[in-house]
Amino acid sequence: MAKIKLTKNELKKQKDNLKRYTRYLPTLELKKKQLLQEIQRIQSEIDGLMAESQKVMDQMMSWVDVFAEEVDFESFLKIKNVEIEEGNIAGIDIPVFSALEFEEVTYDFLQTPLWVDAALPVCQDQIKRRVMRQIAEKQQEVLREELRTTIQRIKLFEEVKIPEARENIRVIQIFMGDQMTAEVVRGKIAKAKIEKKKMAAGMT
């Protein structure tokens, strides 16, 4: 603990610090709660996207045989642009999925298997879900880091700053109390000496 001045000004400073710490602590606790709720909400979104992707994959298993045909399917699924906006949660900036655009691909309907028409939008939706999941995971990463910092601050206030300010106040108050007592004692001694001198002067 750093050495403190045993003065009235220092006492006021320490009381102000304590007041500020105790007022700020509930704000940090609220932020921690909000972050935890948002992380859980995003996890539910991720779980939902993964479940939907798995459901579609299970349905697509019936297409496995036709997918074996010689078709350069990847050429139909080129991402042109991913739009990401900026959101804000508990004062923290996070990326938010806005839209996904695929390159337009023209193909010969006569030379291309019929199943491509049906498979294309399904696969595009799967890719979109994957991109949304990746962005949601990035959101969680940002919020988890902020949560870690917030928890550290809460511990700092609870375990260091608030106890330190209270101890400083206690030490200063004890010192000032001792000083007042010593002052009273000195005053009484001085008064007794004056009285004694008066008595001695009266006897002469």
**77 within a domain of the structure (yes/no):** yes
**106 within a domain of the structure (yes/no):** yes
Total residues found in the chain within this entry = 204
The CATH number that applies at residue 164 is 1.10.287.3240
Place of tokens 């900026």: 86
Q: How many domains would you assign to the chain?
A: 1
The per-residue pLDDT for range 76-135, each reduced to its tens digit, is: 788 889 999 999 988 899 999 999 998 887 766 666 666 677 778 888 899 999 999 999
Place of tokens 């400073």: 13
**177 within a domain of the structure (yes/no):** yes
**196 within a domain of the structure (yes/no):** no
Cβ density class 124-133: b for 16+ within 10 Å, e for less: eebebbebbb
**40 within a domain of the structure (yes/no):** yes
**60 within a domain of the structure (yes/no):** yes
What are the Cα distances from residue 179, in Å, to 1, 34, 159? Answer: 23, 48, 30
**115 within a domain of the structure (yes/no):** yes
**Which residues constitute the domain of residue 166?**
8-190
pTM: 0.76
